[in-house]
Structure 1
Amino acid sequence: MTDSWTLALARDDLSRTELVRHPVPALADGEALLRVDRVGMTANNVTYAVLGDAYRYWDFFPAATAGLDERWGLGPLWGFSEVVDSRVDGVPVGQRLYGYLPPAGHLIVRPGRVDERGFRDASPHRAQLPSPYNAYAATTGDPSYDADREDLLILFRPLFVTSAMLADRLQDNDFYGAATLVLSSASSKTAYAAAFELRGKGPRLIGLTSPGNVAFTRELGCYDDVLPYDGIGELDPATPTAYLDLSANPATRAALRAHLSDRLVHDVAVGLTHQERATEATAVFFAPDQIRKRTLDWGRPELDRRLAESWRRFAAVAEQWVDITVSHGPDGLREAWLGMLAGTTPPRVGHVIAC
């Protein structure tokens, strides 16, 4: 095993990529080498790149490890990896892990807090980064793992955690007084997973999406109603409404504010699919913040148990909503990235890349 690869993005032009071939680095004591096996590509990955500087997503996997300068960035991915070499007790060769991975063939980690559930990467450059992104879950100790649904986990799990924590934050705050919740990018996995979690909890759920995605989004059955973006005028202007912004489209926010005025009681930016910063929202939702709160409230084992139960309920339905497409290697990863960046990936398609 002498060769590896890294697919980097130009930080000033995310459509420009650079494929670098390089040797697999040697291990030091206390390190383990992961082979990146299978990853997903969703709109979430666009968010990571667009917010790479503001939220330090570029810092997880420094481009310098591939011999590139700061003009390049490695966009994080979620998926499965396998330990192929280890100098750490409790991290055996062959262990399969789910976690945050670079767009590359391999990753060196420095496992800390090793137990039957996996470990955290204690590499110095990740010490000040949000801890949920540093966890690597061993499939043998993961309550959410199902070997028959690996690809579904790859595509939905990070999104579902965001969705579940968003739903929890809303419930934890009595929906900020809203009787209606409006979700933009309603055909996206993050949006409809959140709607799935919120369904029947009290507020009416309205999805906003592009005209071409209205039929698909209605068929999901997660929303009480689905409107195209130009249908905002159909919303009841007298009802207190919260806006869950998953598109960061300024025109949508402006239309909602003009139509609802002071009945827009909460406006939170959740994700980006239009490659713009959501600077006008009254709040920004960051899932690790709610994870930290619930870890203090409930303890991590109880949080994991609740998330696993919610995931199993969602997965049983979501597998009917996605057509998984598998591509291969860095070329497949590049094509999946460019399609997602351009917004040309149909909502039913789920991109998985076998690295």
Structure 2
Amino acid sequence: MPASWTFAVARDDLGRTTIAETTTPPLADGEALLRVDRVGLTANNVTYAVLGESMRYWQFFPGEPAGLDSRWGLPPVWGFAEVAASTTPGVEVGQRVYGYLPPAGHLVVRPGRVDATGFRDTAPHRADLPSPYNVYRATTGDDAYRADQEDLLILFRPLFFTSFMLADQIVDHDCYRAEALVLSSASSKTAYAAAFQLRGHGPRLIGLTSPGNVAFTESLGCYDRVLTYDQATDLDRVPTAYLDLSGAPATRAALREHLGDRLVRDIAVGLTNQIPNAAAAGEVFFAPVQMRKRRQDWGRDGLDQRFAAAWERFAVEVGAWLDVRDGTGPDGLRQAWLEVLEGRTSPRVGHIVTF
């Protein structure tokens, strides 16, 4: 059996890491072995680990096959992998796929619903986990794929889907008839990707961020105005929709007190309906709900085509300034993990690790 490895972090101390030497198991009928090729590391991956217990992110890739006990967790990453072996019809050796991967050299999946666009992992331990994370998109059947944009897809695609659906829902509701859209955590990928798509739809776009990120956020060119959080009370008292991507209670309280009934929408934004800022918000944006609506409106192909067109416009913008930092192997992965965990990564930098 070929040698492999698995990177893990201590669940009670995310700065403590280990690399376990492993072997790839023989495949049963209906399985495939993916060789993980290129992955990214962003603050999003740290969030998966922070919420590993409450949101069940640790369950996607159990550590037991690598000989790791429950004290260790495998923080999920996004990236590309190639089919190294397969006993599943329609899943061919050499096929390249994009999806949710372990921080490891290999992954055994049980492909189901195989078609030209890829497959889903139907492994029993993933059956009751959120389905968007179980999809593996074949590069040959993906409208958004371009070989020269792989790094951008790795770093931005999971968050861009949320941004795309968020912007679509806002426009679908006539921007809630707001004159201003205020986005917290404005320097985050999810926020500014949504802002790029909302430009030109009427309301002014205002970003709230920390003092250290003001210059970067202004340089993006997608916001009409950028304020620090403590300047939130400087906002004009006009009909305003608040898109909360930070979950900071103090910001919400300040906006409610300052805007009063001019705060026409207060929306918590996240990938799931259990995000920490959901309880205090007026409502929660849950991307799969808007996705299901648009699949009914446009069909799956129509949704994929619109997503690809929006992605291409965004990729041109972000590709002009993104600084990709390359790492190699498990040591490169550990170095990138610690840098991101400790907050030492500039928002202009994206970490890519090749295995």
Q: Normalising to structure 2: TM-score of the pair?
A: 0.93
Is contact 1:47-1:271 (8 Å) kept?
A: no
Given the superposition, is the C-alpha separation of residues 266 and 93 from structure 1 closer, same or farther in structure 2, using an over 3 Å criterion? same
Given the superposition, is the C-alpha separation of residues 265 and 51 from structure 1 closer, same or farther in structure 2, using an over 3 Å criterion? farther
Deviates more, 1:158-167 or 1:227-236: 227-236
Aligned length: 351
The two structures, once aligned, show a CA RMSD in angstroms of: 1.9
Deviates more, 1:310-319 or 1:224-233: 224-233
Other-structure match for 1:187: 187
Other-structure match for 1:106: 106
Matches within 5 A, 1:1-355: 2-236=2-236, 238-271=237-270, 277-278=276-277, 279-355=279-355
- Cα deviation per residue 1:226-257 (whole Å; 9 max; x = unaligned)? 11222212101x21222222222333223223
Task: State the identity as a percent.
Answer: 68
Shift of 1:169: 2.1
The amino acid of 2:84's aligned partner reads V
Q: Normalising to structure 1: TM-score of the pair?
A: 0.93
- Cα deviation per residue 1:52-86 (whole Å; 9 max; x = unaligned)? 33332222212223233333322211110011111
The amino acid of 2:100's aligned partner reads Y
Deviates more, 1:66-75 or 1:203-212: 66-75
Is contact 1:99-1:133 (8 Å) kept?
A: yes
Shift of 1:189: 1.5
Is contact 2:6-2:19 (8 Å) kept?
A: yes
The amino acid of 1:285's aligned partner reads F
Given the superposition, is the C-alpha separation of residues 335 and 251 from structure 1 closer, same or farther in structure 2, using an over 3 Å criterion? farther
Distance in 2, matches of 1:219 and 1:28, equals 52
Deviates more, 1:282-291 or 1:316-325: 282-291
Distance in 1, matches of 2:159 and 2:82, equals 22
Distance in 2, matches of 1:263 and 1:23, equals 60
Is contact 1:248-1:271 (8 Å) kept?
A: no
Q: What SS does the aligned partner of 1:100 have?
A: strand
- Cα deviation per residue 1:272-311 (whole Å; 9 max; x = unaligned)? 9xxx932423333332232223223322111111100111
Shift of 1:346: 0.6
Shift of 1:15: 2.7
Q: What SS does the aligned partner of 1:62 have?
A: coil
Shift of 1:177: 4.1
Is contact 2:270-2:287 (8 Å) kept?
A: no
Unaligned stretches of 5+ in structure 2?
none
Shift of 1:171: 2.2
Unaligned stretches of 5+ in structure 1?
none
Distance in 2, matches of 1:229 and 1:329, equals 39
